[in-house]
Amino acid sequence: MNRDSPNILVTGTPGCGKSSHSKKLKELLSYELYSISEIAKEKGFIEKYDEVLDTSVVDEDKLLDFMEVELVKGGNIIDWHVCDIFPERLIDLVVVLTTDNSILYDRLKARGYKKNKIDENIDAEIMQVILQEAKESYEEGIVVVLESNTEEDMESNVGRIGEWVENWKKDHPEGVSGEKVEKEVESEDEGEEGEEEEEEEEEEEEEDDEEDYDEDEEQESEEDEEEEVEESDEEDSAPPSKKQKK
């Protein structure tokens, strides 16, 4: 099945205006809106509650199983601060909202966030964590950064996205297929073996790239990788990227 309307992912640091933009976009386009933090709770996609981080941890597999069916149809807006879990073949535009630090600080403070949570989010905004994740996960051509400081910004952003949708439709008169390509299905069938092979290949490539790579460093990086796998996404704060964190 081809989708004849695009899927738009609206992302950015908590408080930058994802939900506000997404609601206005929904009014303009009459698309389905998936505010993931809310949907995860409604549909029971919460894996656990992280007491330390004071946030719910979303079960990404369950979420993706649900979203895949919806995204294949097209015409969806996704509102979430996590942008790197959706398959590229199902996403047509990634809007990364950014907000000046002092404005973001005031918005988070107004929500009653604790100081460490505010600081964490401001740091993530300064380091452009979510933008980096978006660039690593999708073709740069579909990643758009838009400022979200004022109401005027929001109006203009929503208008721009509306125009982009019109152009997308002109450029894709036959729509776009979101079906899994054969390679993807095969690698899923291979399961863990396939993943292991991929890891081995990656390791080989790394070794080729770095001539002076000694064993101690290798040990360290393996430990880091294990730690990274254990980390989960947060609902309302954006810690340094899993990929960036070293």
Residue selected from 20, 128, 132, 232 as contacting ligand ATP according to rule CB under 6 A: 20
Q: How far, rounded to the nearest angstrom, does the alpha carbon of residue 197 sit from its chain's CA centroid?
A: 26
What's the rounded Cα separation, in Å, for the pair 65 and 44? 13
- Residue 6 contacts which entry, Mg ion, ligand ATP, none (Cβ below 5-8 A, type-dependent): none
Nearer to ligand ATP by Cβ, of 107 and 135: the residue is 107
Which region, judged by CB under 6 A, interacts with ligand ATP, from 8-16, 39-47, 127-135, 207-215? 8-16
Contact between 24 and ligand ATP by CB under 6 A: the answer reads: no
Binding to Mg ion in span 28-57, by CB under 5 A: none
What's the rounded Cα separation, in Å, for the pair 161 and 154? 11
Task: Tell the smallest beta-carbon distance from residue 242 to ligand ATP (Å).
Answer: 18
The Cβ of residue 233 has, within 10 Å, a number of other Cβ atoms equal to 20
Contact between 236 and ligand ATP by CB under 6 A: the answer reads: yes
Which region, judged by CB under 6 A, interacts with ligand ATP, from 39-47, 132-140, 146-154, 165-173? 146-154
Token representation of residue 238? 């954006």
Residue selected from 2, 150, 177, 219 as contacting ligand ATP according to rule CB under 6 A: 150
Buried b (16+ CB within 10 A) or exposed e, 133-149: bbbebbeeebbbebebb
Residue selected from 19, 128, 132, 232 as contacting Mg ion according to rule CB under 5 A: 19
Q: Are 7 and 143 in contact (CB under 8 A)?
A: no
- The bridge status of strand 2-3 relative to strand 176-177 is antiparallel
What's the rounded Cα separation, in Å, for the pair 43 and 175? 30
Task: Tell the smallest beta-carbon distance from residue 2 to ligand ATP (Å).
Answer: 31
Nearer to ligand ATP by Cβ, of 178 and 237: the residue is 237
Of 121, 137, 119, the closest CA to residue 238 belongs to 121
Residues near Mg ion (CB under 5 A) are 18-19
Residues near ligand ATP (CB under 6 A) are 12, 14-20, 81, 107, 148-151, 153-154, 236
